[in-house]
Structure 1
């Protein structure tokens, strides 16, 4: 992302005038070290003011305000590079066109008390909240996101309880959820039944039921009782859902100590009576794998001795009793 500035000398919030940043940027900065036209190192300013992010190929812009312009620029760039920017329209354009096709500019320096009023003036003047010309989600300065700041009803959390969410975009950021995925659920446009255990009344692919598991045994040996929504249960208890399902279906014996009442049982360790140690003594060995680990033996070679593929291994032989 390149960066340039068009600042208003006033810090009192004068009426904005459209910058000529699209055609005649006064300063450009690289994404690493920033240098001015003379080649000396410079950085975005620290003061408060109004900033803009321009997508060069489309001409679309994002308008915002910041108490610390330099820190805000860094935050924008950091989250866009990570793919976690709160403005999904801007993030999508960044992912599509690439960092080098974006410019950051400072439109006006104003005092903190005039930030919102001046930002609103720039939003109104540029029309950056219109989809055809900008990335701003809201046409109101300081809003976390227009329709996304409204009250959202109909969500069902991973525990199966209905939830009302105020400001869906902020809620998603705070709870590590993907806003577009949650928004698609609410709008009935999701191709998935749920997202991280969340569903919505409007989802066209709501689950008709959520399976209940009645046979899980805790690591302490006690019945866990009925578990509805295994995915949510696994998240809460830091378990792997795939492994827990495998335990319930008898494909594996246990997962982190959890077993299932009708699941697969571990076989009793086999006892071998034909192994002869290097001293010529017959040994009774139970749990051959553990024995090999304890005595520095290769389990594959030991099995080859028993099957007759190898005569001996480290002095050990096999003789049928």
Structure 2
């Protein structure tokens, strides 16, 4: 299955083996391409919502399915047009349809199996919560005593936080909360706790070694172009410093701060990189991000070269200085999967290409189009020709992929 179309409309996933069809609509920014990759992602993980489609995918393989665009329409009309196609095809196994709901975009009308109904029923058995019930003072005291002192685990706190971020309140609920909150005043004890929490004193050591007493960390960071979170993390011992500045709480000594820094250094593995320029000049650096910014290089691309996932980037190479020999030999042995090409320019000049994505970016070409030229599926692309410098090892086992036409 393949498509690069980002437009909106109605699509179908067709199984060539048994003639089953799944009908859906694409109304997002990524269009048909986004919906196709969403289906493929869940099918490959085995988590697709259609169990029949998942079972046929596992049985027949990905090559047994085709992706077809049925019609183009605006995002507002997608559900309506999808409903029309579902009405024509029908739903359910008897109609050879992977769709289970007769209503597009809704579970309304879906027929569940007796096993699913029993499983849902077991979840609700024994639910003793009574909405609107009046609880006595004695029961409230017992409930409070049972919960007093209990704390959530870090995993539970993370789940609650993630669920709260996704929750969106309706305008009516927001208005009701605003009415209830009007006129409320904080207690003096609460005000005192808030003031104490926001009035921590810090000692900041500048890059020149000068110590400065800071009362308002936010104002100090704005004045010196720093990030408050990083400075507070340095005071808590979560990092060594921030842009050459070090920070500690006023009630801590220098020895305590140095102990925190040593603990952070012991927990961190500092990597040293050996970077080679296109002219053969070698550089050693511990901060690959700063080095790439200085030489206008992509940090992700250089990191991929150091991990062995890429061969070269703009003529630059990179590796770890203290990399074990067995790891380096294993990584170098994987370089066989990187292919070298010979490109013929429109004027007839031949060029050796080690990094095809970079070559395509420089000449404003599409990587997939040039790859098809190298595989013999196309004679040329925008006047450019491409061939392998050495035939790939798996060329004999490579099958031509048939893309559906719409």
Q: Which has the higher contact order (CA 8 A, sep 6+)?
A: 1
**Is the helix fraction higher in 1 or 2?**
2
- After TM superposition, the score normalised by the length of structure 2 is 0.28
- After TM superposition, the score normalised by the length of structure 1 is 0.35
